[in-house]
Amino acid sequence: MSVVVLISGRGSNLQAILEAGIPVAAVISNRVDAAGLAVAARFGVATGVVEHRAYATREAFDAALAAAIDRHAPRLVALAGFMRVLTPAFVARYAGRLVNIHPSLLPEFPGLDTHARALAAGTKRHGCTVHFVTEQMDHGPIIAQAPVPVLPGDTEEALAARVLEQEHRLYPQAIRWFLDGRLVIEGDRVRVMENHG
């Protein structure tokens, strides 16, 4: 039933996942200084570091990362602020069991600087998306979304804080649905089945 979580930074979504009681087998970072590693340690979760700078190519890094993940034989691999573009071979290896959370209502604002771009675009709604990872960045089948209003006078920081609050609620819920066998991928769509448990 376990999950391996990949992080690069502070680990706030990781903390939300752990606080929700999701069974996390290990947390792996591409940065030895990622604050999220200390979060994992506080919860008694095994940690590992696969430093991307130690590898000459993306393919070599992804192969080492996959080896570190596979030692834990997880049902699901969850990206939580993991700031690396993954190779097609890596994505294919975990197809249908690799998820990510993105701070926008995809397909709007894929990539970086989503809050600044949402404000610049004058959009009235922003939010976050949990999706399955595919080769095309930030374009996989959407599992769940949580919208937040963009308020008059919003700053990037204020908007980001409101979105993050929703991320912390949405990501554990989506992971739980996966572990409970409630997610069915149908082409580019995800259906959440009723829970008859």
Question: What would the pLDDT profile of 33-56 be if each residue is shown by its tens digit?
Answer: 999 999 999 999 999 999 999 999
Q: What is the pLDDT of residues 59-73, one digit of tens each?
A: 999 999 999 999 999
Q: Give me the pLDDT at residue 195, please.
A: 77
102 among known catalytic residues: yes
Residue tagged active-site, from 102, 115, 126, 168: 102
The model's pLDDT over 106-156, given as tens digits with 9 standing for 90+, comes to: 999 999 999 999 999 999 999 999 999 999 989 999 999 999 999 999 999
Please report, for the domain that includes residue 83, its CATH number. 3.40.50.170
Cα distances (Å, whole numbers) of residue 89 to 33, 82, 186 = 27, 17, 22
- Of the candidates 102, 61, 96, the residue with the CA atom closest to the CA atom of residue 79: 102
| Assigned domain for 197 exists | no
Indicate whether 34 belongs to any domain.
Answer: yes
Please give the residue range of the domain that contains residue 172. 3-192
Judge whether 33 lies within some domain.
Answer: yes
Report the number of distinct structural domains present in the chain.
Answer: 1
Q: Is the peptide bond before 147 cis (omega within 30 degrees of 0)?
A: no
